[in-house]
Structure 1
Amino acid sequence: MTIETAPWGMTGRDQNGVMPAVGAHTPPDEALTPDEVSHQPAEKARVDMAANFDTLTALEAESIHIFREVAGEFERPVILFSGGKDSTVLLHLAVKAFWPAPLPFPVLHVDTGHNFQEVLDFRDRMVEKYSLRLHVASVEDYIADGRLEERPDGIRNPLQTVPLLDAISEHRFDAVFGGGRRDEERSRAKERIFSLRNAFGQWDPKKQRPELWNLYNGRHSPGEHVRVFPLSNWTELDIWRYIARDNVELCPIYYAHDREVYQRDGMWLAPGPWGGPRSNETLESRSVRYRTVGDGSTTGAVLSDASDNFAILAEVAASRLTERGATRGDDRVSEAAMEDRKREGYF
């Protein structure tokens, strides 16, 4: 059976028009080595190498290179892991980068106390699966002891900054991996892959360093640290293509399921510890899924029947809004809401 490479970089249909099952590709880590190629007929070698090199393979190789660069340049890196799709792909790539050795970095989750329970359960399952060292910075603890005050609107995502910076300082992390992508939001489009933060954790877009020819400058002074974004050049569609190609396990909240939701400001929100519908809002059962996962009080679901990776791929390809623009209320406060938070030390 001959498998053709589809123009978008995923494994295509065979000559009978049948789509292979997810995971039926040749894994990147099983691609032909130069030595193996030299022992094959030239034409077959060219075909095999072409079939194994596509857009996703290039993006994966870049991300793995970044992980290894950081391992060589920094002493105490950490991966931000929330259980969302981007941080899950980030973790998947990190495990690949150092396999079969264990992941040499701990993971850090800044827990708002308003997370979906499915996401917390998934986070703990991944920690156990890969035998990870997990650090949790709790916004709830900061509110309880008076170090932070609850916002009038009840949104806790902006309150993550202080616990995050305190955790970085306490554990002396000098490089912090995040799953930010440039296509998500305009301020993230300004980010370099290595983003220097000053001694107060603040970001200055005017002090971004050039990264010509994929050369990354990790130099920093005592007290400073570097935020690292291995997924910078990925898009939401790339993420879902990669999840389908590598059969990456995700939190089930990303797939269509029935959930009690209510509509507010054009978004479908779910009730929880953060509150529920107001008197003028109606709770109803709908088939929904989440494109992004954050604070439950401000992260909206989308109406969807897409229950598998390929159905989601079709939805994402047809969308004209990024996941943050469509379903994150905290980014609607102002046009510069994300940039303002980043200047304060937020990711």
Structure 2
Amino acid sequence: MRAARIMTISENPTRSFDRADEFTTLDALESESIHIFREVAGEFERPVILFSGGKDSTVLLHLALKAFWPAPLPFSLLHVDTGHNLPEIIQFRDEIVERHNLRLHVAKVEDYIADGRLTERPDGIRNPLQTIPLLDGITENRFDAVFGGARRDEERARAKERIFSLRNAFGQWDPKRQRPELWNLYNGRHAPGEHVRVFPLSNWTELDIWRYIAREQVLLAPLYYAHEREVYERDGMWMTSGPWGGPREGETVETRTVRYRTVGDGSTTGAVLSEAADNEAVLAEVAASRLTERGATRGDDRVSEAAMEDRKREGYF
């Protein structure tokens, strides 16, 4: 008989593993991620999980719940809300938090703009404005380890970062201070005021994420699947109108069947034309793609070749 199954953020019980099963690549990735969560729990005092309601942070939370089941999750969640998030994502975020009785800290970019600590950018993009609220949230709550859902296959700067990534007292990342990570040994040592960013999904790919979502039946926000939406085309991406503005002159709103590969600030994150309405269809679509989800649908990463690395040096995710 199979081992008892665990209920996490899936619609149905998660798949269990026993000796009769073949140990797959997904099992190895899951095992590594769970080991990282448990390592941090034993080594740090106040870890937190960055949770936006996107697919990667949802898989991250699923793994964290699985790592400590049947005990409650020993970490709280932190979301840096730009105020320009798609409404489906915020609704999904709140539903997950309520379902699992989790504690959520929200740092709002809107508050920083309202009181003058931040200034709205001319292009209206708020993703780069997340850095200061994020660092303030970490400092005010004395978080010493911050879990993120970044993966190395997403972008070249993220490919350079270790699983345990030291940040200085100003929250900045210095590539020259990267520590060696031999086998599964992670160095979390840090001075007062410093903290460590931890990336349990570093070795996963977008295809791995979707294969895992399908296997574990992880619930996602519905906009990750094909749906009809009023959109307009900009720079090869299909954008949604919202409080962030748009469309511009010459951009025509039309109803298209689209889905989102990644979610972020609505002013810079686009959808892709797609008929993939379920996990199987999404898997086939992702397997055939030659662009990462950020390369295909994130305008903020197109500012320069070093756009992400520059933001990470300042303290970004």
TM normalised by structure 1 equals 0.87
Match status 1:114 vs 2:84: yes
Say whether the 8 Å CA contact 1:258–1:288 is kept in structure 2: yes
* Residue in structure 1 matched with residue 268 of structure 2 by the alignment: 298
Match status 1:344 vs 2:317: no
* Residue in structure 1 matched with residue 3 of structure 2 by the alignment: none
Say whether the 8 Å CA contact 1:25–1:245 is kept in structure 2: no
Q: Could you tell me how far 1:116 is from its partner in structure 2?
A: 0.4
Larger Rg: 1
Please list every run of 5 or more consecutive structure 2 residues that lacks an aligned counterpart in the other structure. 1-9
Instruction: Tell me which of 16, 19, 23 is aligned to 1:53.
Output: 23
Q: Could you tell me how far 1:288 is from its partner in structure 2?
A: 0.2
Q: Could you tell me how far 1:52 is from its partner in structure 2?
A: 3.6
* Residue in structure 2 matched with residue 38 of structure 1 by the alignment: none
Q: What is the letter of the counterpart of residue 59 of structure 1?
A: L
Distance 1:237 1:157, change over 3 A: same
* Residue in structure 2 matched with residue 185 of structure 1 by the alignment: 155
Say whether the 8 Å CA contact 2:131–2:314 is kept in structure 1: yes
Instruction: Tell me which of 189, 205, 208 is aligned to 1:219.
Output: 189
Query: Does the residue aligned with 2:196 lie in a helix, a strand or coil?
Result: strand
CA distance in 2, matches of 1:230, 1:259: 33
CA distance in 2, matches of 1:71, 1:278: 48
* Runs of 4+ with deviation above 4 angstroms: 22-26
* Residue in structure 2 matched with residue 31 of structure 1 by the alignment: 18
CA distance in 2, matches of 1:207, 1:278: 44
Q: What is the letter of the counterpart of residue 248 of structure 1?
A: V
CA distance in 1, matches of 2:315, 2:13: 40
Query: Does the residue aligned with 1:326 lie in a helix, a strand or coil?
Result: helix
CA distance in 2, matches of 1:214, 1:26: 25
Please list every run of 5 or more consecutive structure 1 residues that lacks an aligned counterpart in the other structure. 1-21, 33-47
* Residue in structure 2 matched with residue 175 of structure 1 by the alignment: 145
CA distance in 1, matches of 2:246, 2:203: 37
State the structure with bigger RCO (CA 8 A, min sep 6), 1 or 2. 2
Distance 1:142 1:310, change over 3 A: same
* Residue in structure 1 matched with residue 63 of structure 2 by the alignment: 93
* Residue in structure 1 matched with residue 106 of structure 2 by the alignment: 136
* Residue in structure 2 matched with residue 16 of structure 1 by the alignment: none
Deviations 1:196-253, CA, capped at 9 Å, x for gaps: 0000000001110000011000000000000000000000000000000000000001
Query: Does the residue aligned with 1:113 lie in a helix, a strand or coil?
Result: coil
Say whether the 8 Å CA contact 1:23–1:244 is kept in structure 2: no
Q: What is the letter of the counterpart of residue 259 of structure 1?
A: R
CA distance in 1, matches of 2:14, 2:70: 19
* Residue in structure 1 matched with residue 215 of structure 2 by the alignment: 245
Q: Could you tell me how far 1:26 is from its partner in structure 2?
A: 8.2
Query: Does the residue aligned with 1:93 lie in a helix, a strand or coil?
Result: helix
Say whether the 8 Å CA contact 1:26–1:52 is kept in structure 2: no
Aligned length: 308
* Residue in structure 2 matched with residue 19 of structure 1 by the alignment: none
Distance 1:218 1:318, change over 3 A: same
What is the identity percentage for the equivalent residue pairs of Structure 1 and Structure 2?
81
Match status 1:84 vs 2:41: no
Query: Does the residue aligned with 2:183 lie in a helix, a strand or coil?
Result: helix
Q: What is the letter of the counterpart of residue 24 of structure 2?
A: D
Q: What's the C-alpha RMSD, in Å, of the aligned pairs?
A: 1.4
Say whether the 8 Å CA contact 2:14–2:216 is kept in structure 1: no
CA distance in 2, matches of 1:148, 1:278: 25
| Residues 264-279 of structure 1 mapped to structure 2, 5 A cutoff | 264-279=234-249
Distance 1:27 1:123, change over 3 A: same
